[in-house]
């Protein structure tokens, strides 16, 4: 019997925590408090500590975390924000929705993160912020970005939606700097398939600056303090108590799950050695410096990507493409007047990369099957 390998399978994890999660939900039931409250406070404290920040503010989604961060910095109409075009839509969508213009900078073809060496030429008088994305679970190259931002007095907002617990380049003998704590504000998503996933939408903003943190905290409740007195025009982006209760249960296992992902990534690397020696341009994920990659996704670059993907689908192996069309070529951004060829590294990545199954519960047999079928494709 052939073995199917789903691209992602949430069920084993949810089942293993069924009792614990049901009791946490029961606790919320007893209190009948469904918005914010002590569970959200506790989650915020846990995430702030985990991200090496002083503050964390629970919000309704990762997309709202980005939007609220832009609001809190006062970025708006006519301003420019620098970001990569090879990312999830929300990174640029939030910039546009606030009234600012996304200014794209191409990616480093090895890490798929924004290429810092191309940022400076894009900075204008209108630039207000750099918005690096820690794609797939590895931090963008933050030192040159932070240096440039300091010199030009720009905000740095980190899109760390895929990178909870990811660490950037440790200082010589110290621990790495966690994603989200290096810039002015860090944005996280607890979308169900993230390393820490809710049973619905949820997000978080982390900060060290008390004023920015306070502003995000107020903006998520329509800018009101006290209730019904509005200092700013905010939005409704509160974190549900039930989501926080579930996330608090799951948070206890996050490190263990992340280590399991890392172990599987390492094992893929070992199993793929034979293919690398046989197939030109077959590229595994590249880890820069001594970064701590948390492998929210395991993305390889391969020749004949679309044919390989179809072959794997027919063999019962799930894969995905993050992302098939870079943002500068999206219909909704046609007003930015970009053309094919403007960001070649992003366009090439969109054509050549493939995400393979990686989750803590993926078994060795399943991994062997994925690699075996990829080998079979290239040996045909
Ligand atoms: C890079 C990136 N930015 C932003 C988001 C938006 O997060 P959410 O789906 O929680 O709104 C996501 C997740 O989907 C993401 O992967």
pLDDT, residue 1, reads: 61
Determine the Cα–Cα distance for residues 200 and 151; give it in Å rounded to an integer: 40
Q: Provide the token pair at 255.
A: 């490190």
**b/e 229-240 (16+ beta carbons within 10 angstroms → b):** eeeeebbebbbb
Which residue is closest in CA terms to ligand 1's atom 12?
161
Dihedrals φ, ψ of 339, to 5°?
-130, 165
Span from the CA of 177 to the centroid of ligand 1 (angstroms):
21
Span from the CA of 174 to the centroid of ligand 1 (angstroms):
30
User: What topology is assigned to 254-379 in CATH?
Assistant: 3.90.1150
**Atom number of ligand 1 nearest to Cα 202:** 10
Give which of 326, 285, 327, 320 is closest to 306, Cα–Cα: 320
Pocket test for ligand 1, best of 187, 189, 323 (most atoms within 8 A of CB): 189
**11-251 against 254-379: fold identical:** no
Give the class (CATH, top level) of 11-251: alpha beta
**Atom number of ligand 1 nearest to Cα 94:** 4
- End-to-end, the C-alpha distance of the chain in Å comes to 22
- pTM equals 0.98
Mean pLDDT by 10 residues, the chain (380 residues): 90 97 98 96 98 98 98 98 98 98 98 98 98 98 98 98 95 82 98 98 98 98 94 96 98 98 98 95 96 97 97 98 98 98 98 98 97 96
Give ligand 1 pocket residues (Cβ under 6 A): 61-63, 87-88, 90-91, 133, 159, 161-162, 189, 191, 201, 203
pLDDT, residue 2, reads: 79
Could you state, in order of their start, the residue ranges of all structural domains in the chain?
Answer: 11-251, 254-379
Task: Give the DSSP per-residue string, 227-250.
Answer: TT-BSS---B-PPBHHHHHHHHHH
Pocket test for ligand 1, best of 94, 140, 162 (most atoms within 8 A of CB): 162
Pocket test for ligand 1, best of 70, 83, 88 (most atoms within 8 A of CB): 88
Span from the CA of 62 to the centroid of ligand 1 (angstroms):
5
Strands (E), the chain: 55-59, 80-83, 101-104, 127-130, 155-159, 167-168, 177-178, 185-189, 203-207, 298-301, 353-356
Task: Give the DSSP per-residue string, 111-167.
Answer: T-SB-GGGTGGG--TTEEEE--B-GGG----HHHHHHHHHHHT-EEEEE-TT-TT-E
Determine the Cα–Cα distance for residues 326 and 318; give it in Å rounded to an integer: 22
Scan for tokens 């920040």, then name that residue: 53
pLDDT, residue 360, reads: 96
Query: What are the Cα distances from residue 373, in Å, to 272, 313, 330, 379?
Result: 11, 10, 33, 10
165 contacts 178 by C-beta, under 8 angstroms: yes
Span from the CA of 63 to the centroid of ligand 1 (angstroms):
6
pLDDT, residue 172, reads: 64
Q: Is 314 exposed, middle or buried (0-12, 13-18, 19+ CB in 10 A)?
A: exposed
Reduced to 3 states, what is the DSSP secondary structure of residue 213?
helix
Span from the CA of 86 to the centroid of ligand 1 (angstroms):
13
Give pLDDT tens digits for 287-316.
Answer: 999 999 999 999 999 999 999 999 999 999
Give which of 56, 29, 358 is closest to 202, Cα–Cα: 56
Counting Cα atoms < 13 Å in the Cβ hemisphere of 218 gives 18
Span from the CA of 66 to the centroid of ligand 1 (angstroms):
9
Give pLDDT tens digits for 80-101.
Answer: 999 999 999 999 999 999 999 9
Give which of 87, 129, 142 is closest to 345, Cα–Cα: 87
Q: Is 46 exposed, middle or buried (0-12, 13-18, 19+ CB in 10 A)?
A: middle
pLDDT, residue 174, reads: 72
Give which of 53, 28, 22 is closest to 40, Cα–Cα: 28
């Amino acid at each position: 019997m052939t073995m199917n390998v789903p691209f992602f399978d949430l069920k084993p994890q949810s089942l293993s925590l069924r009792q614990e999660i049901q009791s946490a939900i029961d606790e919320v039931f007893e209190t009948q408090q469904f918005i914010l409250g002590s569970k959200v406070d506790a989650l915020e404290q846990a995430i702030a500590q985990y991200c090496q920040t002083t503050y964390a503010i629970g919000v309704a989604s990762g997309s709202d975390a980005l939007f609220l961060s832009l609001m809190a910095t006062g970025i708006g109409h006519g301003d420019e924000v620098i970001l990569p075009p090879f990312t999830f839509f929300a990174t640029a969508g939030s910039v546009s929705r606030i009234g600012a213009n996304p200014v794209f900078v191409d990616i480093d073809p090895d890490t798929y993160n924004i290429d810092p060496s191309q940022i400076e030429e894009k900075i204008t008088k209108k630039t207000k912020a750099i918005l690096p994305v820690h794609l797939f679970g590895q931090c963008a190259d933050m030192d040159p970005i932070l240096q440039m931002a300091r010199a030009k007095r720009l905000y740095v907002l980190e899109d760390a939606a895929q990178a909870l617990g990811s660490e950037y380049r440790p200082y010589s003998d110290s621990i790495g700097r966690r994603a989200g704590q290096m810039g002015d504000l860090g944005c996280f998503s607890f979308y169900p398939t993230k390393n820490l996933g809710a049973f619905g939408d949820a997000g978080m903003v982390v900060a060290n600056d008390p004023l920015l943190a306070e502003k995000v905290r107020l903006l998520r409740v329509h800018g009101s303090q006290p209730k019904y007195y509005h200092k700013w025009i905010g939005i409704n982006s509160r974190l549900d108590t039930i989501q926080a209760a579930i996330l608090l249960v799951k948070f206890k296992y996050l490190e263990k799950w992340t280590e399991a992902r890392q172990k599987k990534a390492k094992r893929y690397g070992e199993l793929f050695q034979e293919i690398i020696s046989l197939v030109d341009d077959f590229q595994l994920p590249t880890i820069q410096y001594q970064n701590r990659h948390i492998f929210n996704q395991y993305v390889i670059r391969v020749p004949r990507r679309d044919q390989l993907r179809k072959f794997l689908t027919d063999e019962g192996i799930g894969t995905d493409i993050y992302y098939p069309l870079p943002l500068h070529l999206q219909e909704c951004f046609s007003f930015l007047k970009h053309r094919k060829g403007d960001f070649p590294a992003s366009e090439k990545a969109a054509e050549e990369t493939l995400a393979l199954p990686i989750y803590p519960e993926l078994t060795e047999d399943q991994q062997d099957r994925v690699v075996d079928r990829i080998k079979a494709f290239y040996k045909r």
